Amino acid sequence: GRKIAKANPNTFIPLNDNYGKDDKNIFCQVSTLTGADYETFSVSKEKYSVNLAWDKNHFYDLEIEIDKKEFDEIIQLTNNLKE
Taking the C-alpha atoms of residue 15 and residue 72, their distance in angstroms, rounded to an integer, is 21
Q: What angle do CA 8, 58, 27 make, to 5 degrees?
A: 20
**Cβ contacts of 43 within 8 Å, gap of 6 or more:** 15, 16, 18, 19, 50, 52, 53
What pLDDT is attached to residue 83?
A: 59
- In the prediction, which pLDDT does 51 show? 93
| Residue 22 confidence (pLDDT) | 97
Q: Note down pLDDT in tens along the chain; length 83 residues.
A: 667 778 999 999 999 989 999 999 999 999 999 999 999 999 998 877 889 999 999 999 999 999 999 999 999 988 887 65
- Cα separation, 53 vs 28, in Å, equals 10
